[in-house]
Amino acid sequence: MAKYNISLDDLTPNNLQVLRRINSVVLPLPYSDAWYKESLTVGPLVKLAFFNEIPVGAIRCSLVVPQKHNVGESKIYIMTLAVLAPYRRYGIGKQLVDYIINDVVKLEEMAFVKEVYCHVWVENTDALEWYVKTAGFEKGEVVPGYYKKMDPPGDAVVLRKRV
């Protein structure tokens, strides 16, 4: 039986191009240089995944805090989750999501987070099924025209998981 090792690592200026490359191969829309630069400032909300020391996946999140006078709970938004196609059956995406749900949410500065959520293109049935069946998210509302840079603009399903 073949052995393999899956590990997660922090994003640094030295491996920033790895995040950019994985996203460009897997995701249908490009992200700006400013987005990648900001990714270096979000600490535990971004991780790279390695399969036998080969970079094959990444997750990038943001913290969503209600405005001062609004009622609501803080949330973590999964901005991107990407795993290279040949490595999708090894549990790498699940390990990345579990890291956010089980490790990041337990950090003292994240103790007020009550939900993790994301948007998935309605046509990406594989991702929608994965989030529900594998990662335990629940489908929410459809947001018409969420992906404005698609031609034509694409609708998104909101997926949520209480933590």
Catalytic sites, residue numbers: 77, 119
Beta-carbon contacts of residue 25 (< 8 Å; ≥ 6 apart): 82, 84
Task: Check: CB of residue 76 under 8 Å from CB of residue 63.
Answer: yes
Distance between CA atoms of 127 and 7, rounded to whole angstroms? 22
Distance between CA atoms of 148 and 127, rounded to whole angstroms? 19
Torsion of CA 29, 90, 59, 67, to 10 degrees: 110
